[in-house]
Amino acid sequence: MRKFTPMIEQYLKIKAEYKDCFLFFRLGDFYEMFFDDALKASRELEITLTSRDGGGDERIPMCGVPYHSASNYIKNLVEKGFKVAICEQVEDPKVAKGVVKREVVQLITPGTVMEGTMLNEKENNYIASLAEISEQVFAVAYNDLSTGETSAALVQAGWDSLLSELFNRPIREIVISKHLATDKQAALTARLNVTLSYCEEESINEPFDMLVKDLEDPTVKPAFGRLVNYVQSTQQRAVDHLKPVQLIVLEQYLGLDMYSKRNLELTETIMKKGKQGSLLWVLDQTVTAMGSRKLKKWLERPLLNHQALTKRYLLVEGLMHDFINRKELRTQLKSIYDLERLAGRVAFGNVNARDLLQLKISLGKVPCIKALLAQFSAADLVNRGAALDPLADLKILLETSLTEDPPITIKEGNMIKDGYDDKLDQYRDASRNGKKWIAELEQREKQATNIKSLKIGYNRVFGYYIEVTRANLHLLPEGKYERKQTLTNAERFITPELKEKESLILSAEEKSIELEYQLFLKLREQVKKFIPRLQKLADQISELDVFQAFATISEQEGYVKPTLTTGPAITINKGRHPVVEKVMKDQMYVPNDVSMDKTSQILLITGPNMSGKSTYMRQVALTVIMAQIGCFVPADQAMLPIFDKIFTRIGAADDLVAGQSTFMVEMLEARHALTHATENSLILLDEIGRGTSTYDGMALAQAIIEYVHNEIGAKTLFSTHYHELTSLEQSLVNLKNIHVRAEEYEGEVVFLHQIEEGAADESYGIHVAKLAQLPAALIERAAVILAELEAKQTEYEHANKQSVQLSFFGNEPEMAKQVQVKDYGKIAAAIESFNLMEMTPMDAMNELYQLQKKVREERQ
């Protein structure tokens, strides 16, 4: 068995308790890592890998980072999903017997980051936890440790719905039981790209039991218990800033599954995974970090409450009507720092004097904001101003205690104002006036002794001293001077007065810094008492910021207040896509109307590629979402019902993570919509069926349309290149054909981006290929092949015009009457009994094969 040095033995013992973490092991001015940690860290952080003797047969791999710059390296690891355990010396090396005692003082994980440099100020940093209540029911709890926000929800529609719920928030880490099924654990990491952590304890002890005492549904408590036990065990410090758990009743919010959120690009784009190009990018005219985070949360959970939305519209309208006051309000809000995270840092104990100075500056703006809001004509804005708590008592405390330019660290001094503490003032006086006092003493001693060459000096070994040359020693009075050091040509002395002052002067700065540190810790404890009021103020300020952002963008882009109706009709006059419109900048965006009522529950959209079908569909959904977060909408007029869910299938994308093809993704997303949609839902389906053969695709597309029409009754926009589907307008009373206009001019296609009634008469596929600048020879060959195919089709139709043809789209399946199969009734019954929504593609293929086999046997 290998024998290691005592220090390496200590490292291995601590590392055994933190196997899934990088252990930052404090040695002097460095955090060192050894063995596998060193190998991985050198690769991940691109730092030099060295080695050291550890007492064994071979040298131990080792790498390290400087203590003073460790935060950047920790940030790098945490952003990659790793955990870092900080192991500090907890014993003074001077008094240690043997190896200095070390302990892990903090575990930094992706979901528990508190340092401002490691956080995106405009993003929440959530950690979540799960509790499996039953096969179909899961409790989930969320916490943003940096702000104290805590919430929980009950998901009762199965595992897929849970994944959609978790996808809806920027979660970095999920705490689960180690007994959760391995396939579910794999799905969490693959689908959500999160770090998994484990905790079995679900009980809730003091003081955290107070955070759940008002919960209406106790079912979510196990998830919160698991979460808070994990946070407490990893952070090993006070988390007094956690807010009471807010129960999220999912049925009170617009349902947006992970497919819809992704396809509509609400908070990030599909391609670049960035904010620019998303709806959030357009709407985010906030000027505070708190406001930006609040806006994102509203986008993730649009409302269903008519009354709450009406109140939001009134606030936005009130801000729009008073441009001057709104602009001044915006200016004042810009000076407000991140109160939420400042409160979190106070509670967590890592706040510094500059943070508290930011808090003081922010509180100084609140009276101005209150006065501004009092000047608005909208009563709701006036009331919101009156409700703001300026925390005057906290502001006075900070004003009397803090200097105007404190250092970053809290152990350098110069944080506390003069006059705040008498003892500190004495130390400072001694430190500041020490040299002046020494110079004055030197002059007094020269006069008293009449020794012109007498001087007072200082060195680190002997401290302060009075130096007199040997020639003048006889002039010194008896008994006053005490010899301290003998030199070749002089003697050095000290007097009781100098000795007393020396002690005060030399220790004054050190004692001043230590006392300031203690005074700051006491100040921080005093500020902790204001955390609940600070959090409430932060919430009020962030909402004001979002409302002014809505008013600002609405005025800039010409958005209008929507009218919410209780009926089923949608009317949007000259609606626009907010993102495309902004991206186009100086180009003219072509607006389009949307009209859907009982006779047009389904809009079947045809037209060439690139003509704007997908844009038209998306703009309807984005308009609905904007209306249901309380923002005005991009249109000249909009009358909308409140939708309960939005489902989308837009764009072709393989799901390589799950090993699924484009067609499988299409079918899964379609199934999700068909399973969960209601008559109050909005469904967007773009080019369903294109991932398989033509007839398969057409059959599936028609079947889906008919199912939505007959079984669900949801508002549906369905775009397609299968022109044969347009005949459905004759058989489905609530379906209406519309198309995107395109004109051919001198051999070129011109997209007009205008929606008109009726079906498109041509797809212009080759023209689009030409626009994409495919080789000219290829385009010419495609035109020849198209002409040949069209000629053959015409010849075929002419030859068979008297025959009864199989049609997927006629009112009567005529061909079925001609099929000479003895057991046709049984086969038809078998087909009718299939539950396609619950079958896998392979199951469906097997059943189809068996039926085909039976038909062939009957014919023989």
* The two structure tokens encoding residue 503: 């002690």
Residue from 222, 224, 267 nearest 245 by CA: 224
What residues form DSSP beta bridges with 26?
A: 31
| Encoded tokens for 247 | 């129960």
Distance between alpha carbon 478 and the CA centroid of its chain, in Å? 79
What's the token pair of residue 357?
Answer: 């100075």
Backbone φ and ψ of 453, nearest 5°? -90, 0
- Residue 294: how many CA atoms within 13 Å on its side-chain side? 24
Cα–Cα distance measured from residue 554 to residue 560, given in angstroms and rounded to the nearest whole number: 7
The residues, any chain, with a CB within 8 Å of residue 509's CB and separated by 6 or more, are 413, 427, 431
Nearest one of 156, 151, 150 to 133, comparing CA atoms: 156
- CA-CA distance, 815 to 796, in Å (whole number)? 17
Interatomic CA distance for residues 461 and 465, integer angstroms: 11
What CA–CA distances, in Å, run from 653 to 163, 381, 433, 656? 19, 46, 74, 9
Q: How does 487-517 read in b/e, with b if 16+ C-beta sit within 10 Å? A: eeebbbbbbeebeebbebbbebbebbbebbb
8 A C-beta contact, residue 119 and residue 75: no
| Crossing angle between the packed helical segments 339-348 and 496-528, to the nearest 10 degrees | 120
Q: Which of 140, 143, 334 is nearest to 235 (CA)?
A: 143
User: End-to-end distance of the chain based on CA atoms, in angstroms?
Assistant: 78
Q: Which of 160, 103, 535, 575 lies closest to 347 in space, CA to CA?
A: 535
Element at 228 (helix H, strand E): helix 221-235
What is the dihedral sign for C-alpha 102, 107, 108, 113?
negative
3-state secondary structure of 739: strand
For residue 799, give both structure tokens. 């030859």
Binding positions for ATP are 607-614
In the sheet that holds 195-198, the strands lie side by side as: 195-198, 171-176, 126-132, 138-144, 149-155, 246-248
Closest by CA to 234, choosing from 277, 192, 173, is 173
d(CA 538, CA 424) in angstroms, rounded, equals 34
> If you search the block for the tokens 């301290």, which residue do you land on?
484
Distance (Å, whole) CA 114 – CA 559:
38
Give the count of alpha carbons within 13 A of 26, CB side only: 21
Binding residues, as ranges, are: 607-614
DSSP, collapsed to helix, strand or coil, labels residue 491 as strand
What is the distance between the alpha carbons of residues 448 and 477, in angstroms, rounded to a whole number? Answer: 9
Helix, strand, coil share of the chain (percent; to 5): 50, 20, 35
CA–CA gap between residue 371 and residue 594 (Å, rounded): 43
Residues 6 or more apart whose CB falls under 8 angstroms from that of 81 comprise: 110, 172, 193, 194, 195
CB 634 within 8 A of CB 575: yes
Name the nearest CA neighbour of 128 among 193, 173, 159.
173
- Helix (H) or strand (E) holding 126, with range, is strand 126-132
531-557 vs 339-348: helix crossing angle, rounded to 10: 160
